[in-house]
Structure 1
Amino acid sequence: MNRLLGARAGWRWVHLILGGALLMPYFLLAQVVVGVVAGGVNALDSAPLSLLAYALSLPLVAATALFGPVRPMSVVAVRAMCGVPGEGLADGPARSWAARVRASAWWTLHLGTGALISGMTLAVPPMAVVLIAVPVVGRLGDVRLGYGWFATDTNPYAAPLVGIGLLAGLALCAAGAGQLLARTAPVLLGPTPADRLAAAEERAADLAVRNRLARELHDAVGHALSAVTLQAAAARRMLERDPEFVREALAAIEDTTRRTVGELDAVLGLLRDGDPDRPDAAHAPTLATDLDGLLARTRAGGTTVTAHQDPGPTGDWAALPAIASREAYRIVQEGLSNALRHGAGPVDLRIRVRTGSDPGVGSDTGSDTDTDTAYRRLEVTMTNPPAAPDDDREPRTGGGRGLRGAAERAALLGGSIEAGPYGDGWRLRAVLPLTGDDR
């Protein structure tokens, strides 16, 4: 009974009636054409001509549905009225002719079926009311009840049963048609392979943005917290013995936090859709703009960092492709953060641009060449001993989120990273190709 008279059945009935209303312009146009062809008669006065006009209106419905925003409108209506799960329907306009044809078939089915149910909804209830009222008002004279089903000599008490049967039949037809549309909607309005591919690409792009934001937040904030923690600890230990060191440590903490707040605001700006002042990636720190500052802030915490820099023939980190310089800076920052959190100084950092025929990550050897076809790459190598057994720093057991993020950064440029035990300490080594275009 709920399937016939429940709320869902009622909404599906309304959905069908809306389809019948949408068919009316097509039907009126077709009945004018049929009337003219039939010799100027009114097609509405003839049941056969009305049926012919109905049949001719369906191709018009199908043709117009190929070029309009039929699928988005239909999907919204089906979700709201037919109780079809949203994941079974496609979002957005049709992206291919196959999807348009399927949407056209749905539009034709909806409007065609809706017109029949609408016609029945208009005709059956008055007929049923007349039949139910026969025992009360008599046999209605010599009128055969207006429908030719009962003669004046028919038992009047049978008419109400027929009227009730008509109403039940109408409810059954409406429920069946609504169920048909609900089952057909995922087939004709469901996602095509092109829709699934577009959705997968959108999810992949969204995931890439999320990963990028996670990397930026981890690298900027994580390094700052590690550096500030060690700088504050070093200042506390040297408070009485070396006030000048404490002053430098506090200045480094101030500079570190100020820079981190700026970077945090830049990253969060990426989350503000439609923000015209959203900072561009070009404003992120690079080897050219902040490598010396990064090293100074790390040293302010009491960690000894020995840096060997070789920018190549140009002698300037600014000559590197911007994206390589940005990602290399973050990789160096992550390596220093790991050294601050898990290791003990000194840290040996080597950054150099090399030109050679062997782009492998695992080899530190190989002759440099100066040919036009040589493979240019940026190599970052960082080594440091582990923390002492009585040190309260975290023991290093392997790469965490930061190293995974650094590996993702390198992979985006076609490079790679190695990180792990090396001799009696720990080594991080990254190779970033420099043969691509500047981005």
Structure 2
Amino acid sequence: MTASAVFLFGRRARRRWVHLILGGALAMPYVLVGSVILGPVIGSDDVFSSLPLQLGSFAIGLPIAAVTALFAPTRPLVSGAVRALSGTDGDALAHGPARTRGERARTAAWFTLHLGLGGIVSGMSLAVPPFAAVLIALPLFAGLRGTRLGLPAALGEGWAVALTPVAGLAMLLALAACAAGCGALLARWAPALLGPTARDRLAAAEARAADLAVRNRLARELHDSVGHALSAVTLQASAARRLLDTDPEFVREALAAIEDTTRRTVGELDTVLGLLRDGDAPGTAPAPTLAADLDGLLRRTRAAGQRVTATVGTDPAALPPLVSREAYRIVQEGLTNALKHAGEPVTVRIAAADGRLEITVENPLGTAPAPRRPGGGHGLSGIADRVRLLGGSAQAGAAGGLWRLRVHLPLRTT
């Protein structure tokens, strides 16, 4: 099928034709109102007996349609029809009701254009096909010739009869071209008249940015809490299995640590999932902080057989809650990396100086690198995100046979 045929008779063209027919149907009540107004003015009881009077009623009805389209709910209704039938990109159209005067005026302009073009195409769709069918059949049926059907007498004579099928087909093509052209015009003007304003686009961008920020924060929380728990539980279970027969006391401690780790992680997971469920109340498990759980974090890590030395040069309870929470996650991720890469002993240093909280996590480089997941992990990038949101700095890398994570967080978060 050629491009011209697709434009005239393709699926999109047919849907736009239906859209125009719906516009013509919507125009009929306004035409009836126009006829009620026009009839008494010209002193006629039968406005529809004359084509000029019908067109006059149509012309009176369109301004009335424009006035009714000024109501705010009109825009989402007509935008839905445009998305479904005109082939216009849905993102190019506004979703909410028209609020400002300019938005209402543009909606009214599009609605009037739709009803005007729809009324014209609907009238042509009713009148042209029967007349074209008569012209096509005229050479085959002599009874159709003459003036009984309102046809010119010349159509029943000579070469005119042979040319009437061509004229009938041309009329059908002209109708299809008119419908396709009007549908394309409506589709072209829809984004300009029904599309979101600059304020709408800004609000949508802000909403997407806020949603992305929430999703990233929840992803970091899941990665840090669940990732650390799985790494710790795996090593704790492995150590307990190796020492099951030789050190029952260590096995009991490891099992207790596994129970504590999983219980806490389930609580944190419930909190995050509660935030993801629309309408659900979030879980009640508090976000872990240095003041609340640093000792427990170190104890659970040591229960996995990891030697950890911690030096805390500041009172965790005196830290701002946001800094304490993010610092906890950073220390947790540093310990998780040490668990994964089997480098020990691990040294953790936390100190406050010059208005900053300094966190350092060091461990020797492992002799055998841990297997990497496809695409790598997200721990260090999560730390970088946390630090950047607080306006701090972070460095991580190998130096002198050690893997060192060093973070500076400002203590003033406002």
Question: TM > 0.5 between the two?
Answer: yes
Partner of 1:37, secondary structure, is: helix
Residue 105 of structure 1 aligns with an amino acid whose one-letter code is A
Deviations 1:269-292 (A, max 9, x none): 333333x24326x72222233222
What's the offset of the Cα at 1:402?
Answer: 0.9
Q: Matched residue pairs, number?
A: 403
Residues 1:216 and 2:215 are matched in the alignment? no
Residues 1:293 and 2:296 are matched in the alignment? yes
Q: What does 1:180-259 align with in structure 2 at a 5 Å threshold?
A: 180-259=185-264
Q: Which residue of 1 is the match for residue 388 of structure 2?
A: 411
Residues 1:381 and 2:367 are matched in the alignment? no
In 2, Cα distance between equivalents of 1:3 and 1:423:
70
What's the offset of the Cα at 1:163?
Answer: 4.2
In 2, are the aligned partners of 1:387 and 1:395 still within 8 Å (CA)? no
Change (3 A) 1:120 1:393: closer
In 2, are the aligned partners of 1:106 and 1:188 still within 8 Å (CA)? yes
Q: Which residue of 2 is the match for residue 169 of structure 1?
A: 174
Residues 1:26 and 2:37 are matched in the alignment? no
Find 2:40's aligned residue among 36, 42, 45: 36
Partner of 2:204, secondary structure, is: helix
Q: Which residue of 2 is the match for residue 63 of structure 1?
A: 67
Partner of 1:348, secondary structure, is: strand
Q: Which residue of 1 is the match for residue 368 of structure 2?
A: 392
Residue 270 of structure 2 aligns with an amino acid whose one-letter code is D
Relative to structure 2, which stretch is displaced further, 16-25 or 155-164? 155-164
Residue 260 of structure 2 aligns with an amino acid whose one-letter code is D
In 2, are the aligned partners of 1:226 and 1:337 still within 8 Å (CA)? yes
In 2, Cα distance between equivalents of 1:434 and 1:48:
81
What's the offset of the Cα at 1:254?
Answer: 2.4
Deviations 1:379-417 (A, max 9, x none): 1422423135xx335499xx9521221121122233332
Q: Which residue of 2 is the match for residue 17 of structure 1?
A: 21
Change (3 A) 1:128 1:298: same
In 2, are the aligned partners of 1:347 and 1:382 still within 8 Å (CA)? no
Q: Which residue of 2 is the match for residue 323 of structure 1?
A: 322
Unaligned runs of 5+ in 2: none
What's the offset of the Cα at 1:72?
Answer: 2.7
Alignment root-mean-square deviation, CA: 3.4
Residue 308 of structure 1 aligns with an amino acid whose one-letter code is T
1 or 2, which has the higher helix percentage?
Answer: 2
Q: What does 1:87-126 align with in structure 2 at a 5 Å threshold?
A: 87-94=91-98, 97-126=101-130
In 2, Cα distance between equivalents of 1:387 and 1:153:
99
**Moved beyond 6 Å, runs of 4+:** none
What's the offset of the Cα at 1:118?
Answer: 0.9
Change (3 A) 1:58 1:311: farther
Change (3 A) 1:240 1:387: farther
Residue 110 of structure 1 aligns with an amino acid whose one-letter code is H
Residues 1:420 and 2:397 are matched in the alignment? yes
Q: Which residue of 1 is the match for residue 287 of structure 2?
A: 284
Deviations 1:207-251 (A, max 9, x none): 223322221121112211222233234334444443212221222
What's the offset of the Cα at 1:424?
Answer: 5.4
In 2, Cα distance between equivalents of 1:172 and 1:383:
73
In 2, are the aligned partners of 1:134 and 1:159 still within 8 Å (CA)? no
What's the offset of the Cα at 1:98?
Answer: 4.7
What's the offset of the Cα at 1:164?
Answer: 4.4
Partner of 1:83, secondary structure, is: coil
Partner of 1:235, secondary structure, is: helix
Deviations 1:55-90 (A, max 9, x none): 233333333333333333333323322333445444
Q: Which residue of 1 is the match for residue 85 of structure 2?
A: 81
Q: Which residue of 2 is the match for residue 368 of structure 1?
A: none
Q: Which residue of 1 is the match for residue 410 of structure 2?
A: 433
What's the offset of the Cα at 1:296?
Answer: 0.7
TM-score (structure 1 length as normaliser): 0.78
In 1, are the aligned partners of 2:73 and 2:97 still within 8 Å (CA)? yes
Q: Which residue of 2 is the match for residue 302 of structure 1?
A: 305
Residue 332 of structure 1 aligns with an amino acid whose one-letter code is V
In 1, are the aligned partners of 2:267 and 2:283 still within 8 Å (CA)? no
In 2, Cα distance between equivalents of 1:426 and 1:152:
100
In 1, are the aligned partners of 2:309 and 2:345 still within 8 Å (CA)? yes
Change (3 A) 1:429 1:48: same
Unaligned runs of 5+ in 1: 360-376
TM-score (structure 2 length as normaliser): 0.82
In 1, are the aligned partners of 2:335 and 2:361 still within 8 Å (CA)? no
In 2, Cα distance between equivalents of 1:17 and 1:346:
78
In 1, Cα distance between equivalents of 2:36 and 2:29:
11
Change (3 A) 1:46 1:227: same
Change (3 A) 1:258 1:114: same
Q: Which residue of 2 is the match for residue 362 of structure 1?
A: none
The percentage of aligned residue pairs carrying the same residue is 60
